[in-house]
Amino acid sequence: MARYVDLHPVDPQPRLVRQVVEQLRDGALIAYPTDSGYALGSALDNRDGRDRILRIRGLDDRHHFTLMCRDFSQLGQFVHVPNAAFRVIKAATPGPYTFILPATPEVPRRLMHPKKRTVGVRIPDHPLVCALLEELGEPLLTSTLILPGETEARTMGWEVKEDLDHVVDVVLESGEVTAEPTTVVDLSGDEPEVLRHGAGDASRFE
Residue 189: other Cβ atoms inside 10 A: 10
Positions in the chain short of pLDDT 50: none
CB 66 within 8 A of CB 121: yes
pTM more than 0.85: yes
CB within 8 Å of 83: residues ≥ 6 apart? none
Q: H helices of 10-126, where?
A: 14-25, 47-57, 72-78, 83-92
CB within 8 Å of 147: residues ≥ 6 apart? 56, 57, 58, 154, 163
Q: Please give the pLDDT value at position 84.
A: 84
Q: Please give the pLDDT value at position 26.
A: 97
Q: Please give the pLDDT value at position 204.
A: 86
Q: Please give the pLDDT value at position 61.
A: 80
Q: Please give the pLDDT value at position 122.
A: 97
Q: Please give the pLDDT value at position 54.
A: 95
